[in-house]
Amino acid sequence: MHNPLRIAVAGLGTVGSSVVRIIQNEKLSLFDKAGSDLVVSAVSARDKNRDRGVDLANIDWHDDAKNLIQDNIDILVEVIGGADGVAYDIVKAALGKGISVVTANKALLAVHGSELAQLAEQNNAHLKYEAAVAGAIPAIKAVREGLAANQITSIYGILNGTCNYILTQMRETGGSFNEILKEAQDKGYAEADPSFDIDGVDTAHKTALLAAAAFNMAPDFNHIPTRGIRHVTSTDICYAEDLGYKIKLLGVVRKTDLGIEQSVEPCLVDLNTPLAAIDGSLNAVYTESPFAHETLMVGRGAGGDPTASAVVADIIDIARGVHISPFGVPSEKWNDTPMADMDERMVASYIRLIVEDSPGVLADISGILRDENISIQSALQLSEITKGIVPLILITHTVKTKALKGALAKIEKLRSVKEQPFTMRIIEQE
């Protein structure tokens, strides 16, 4: 029989409390799977008197999470959050002492993943982060291990449940973005300050980790162009559906002739493709690869129990002695394929313009697009005229992003164009 595995949990919010609860309530089942007793021996949080629904009677309490590293522990579970501050300090200290780390902190690893992975290597410690991407979905294990026989070509992720919920409700109810966001906040689906979610930062953190695990490279969060859903309107939702699409906030990773492409942006997804069916607060990860072909993983991307499920699964892997380099291969073998110049990528686009309802407007816009060699697949001048202003929807054929940016900069300067043009990428899948 192996010695008990002593676990310290930093952070007793929704996820941390669920981790403790699962380990305590599923003790016998977890022993059979792990081959060792899993014992929470120390915790740290702000308020010792708060009722979290778990038994802390025989667990050492620390007001300062940094003191957890002084305890005699085997694994640190970090569920505090944040790219820097105490989360970074304690994870770095633990790995420096050879203590294995399990974290749900996507921001920490997206920003400091390279440093921390190398520190784990140097000290023969595990660094596991399944819970950091898509909650209960085993997305990291799938792309890093389950698809290891493949050279993955692309990943498309619906990685933020708040955004997926808002877009779903806008489509189903016809409500505006601000109306549905307020409803989501009232129901607890969105934070009081939802910026990280709705502006795509949360999705970008997760996209960086998916890319690193899939392509065996250091996370490159700082070079992911990121746009959220703040400017998606009910007009966009309505006419996207009329054109045969749903709008989804996607984290996209693709291996191309230009290098590895990473982006986060609202996209039009064909109604007949698998990702279009993922509604509500669900997350999904869709991969394409030469031997496995297409795979789709769907599940709960957030919440106490779903995220804690992934944390405990990582703990079990450590107990079993399953030692996998955080990004698939040792750091000296990380992929050095360059990041693609996103201005050079070829994409089809949806364009929404708000223009005067007057003769010659479409001709002026068409002339600019023609001069930039941009071909229009279809154009809809809508009947929603308000004070002489009307939406104009354009769908382009595949075009270089740089050319589209140049054209839109010129179009925006036209006197007949009353708002900044809004664009979304059209995702074409098999």
Catalytic residue annotation: 206
Which residue reads 């708000």 in tokens?
Answer: 354
HEC secondary structure over 270-289: ECCCHHHHCCCCEEEEEEEE
Measure the CA–CA gap between 345 and 405, rounded to whole angstroms: 12
Answer for the pair 330, 402: CB distance below 8 angstroms, yes or no. no
Answer for the pair 152, 289: CB distance below 8 angstroms, yes or no. yes
**Dihedral Cα 94, 110, 136, 226, nearest 10 deg:** 160
Measure the CA–CA gap between 413 and 408, rounded to whole angstroms: 9
* Residue 71 Cα to chain centre, angstroms: 33
Phi and psi angles of residue 57, each rounded to the nearest 5 degrees, phi first: -60, -40
Measure the CA–CA gap between 415 and 324, rounded to whole angstroms: 58
Q: Which residues pair with 249 in a beta bridge?
A: 266
Measure the CA–CA gap between 126 and 78, rounded to whole angstroms: 13
Measure the CA–CA gap between 43 and 52, rounded to whole angstroms: 12
Return all residues near 391 (Cβ < 8 A) that are at least 6 apart. 235, 352, 353, 354, 355, 381, 382, 384
Q: What is the DSSP string of 14-38?
A: HHHHHHHHHHHHTHHHHHHHHSS-E
Amino acid at 143: V
Answer for the pair 283, 301: CB distance below 8 angstroms, yes or no. yes
Measure the CA–CA gap between 286 and 295, rounded to whole angstroms: 6
Amino acid at 247: I
From the number of C-beta atoms within 10 Å of its C-beta (0-12, 13-18, 19+), residue 380 rates as middle
Which residue reads 């164009």 in tokens?
Answer: 417
Measure the CA–CA gap between 35 and 274, rounded to whole angstroms: 38
Give kind and range of the element (H or E) at residue 348: strand 346-356
From the number of C-beta atoms within 10 Å of its C-beta (0-12, 13-18, 19+), residue 382 rates as middle
Amino acid at 298: V
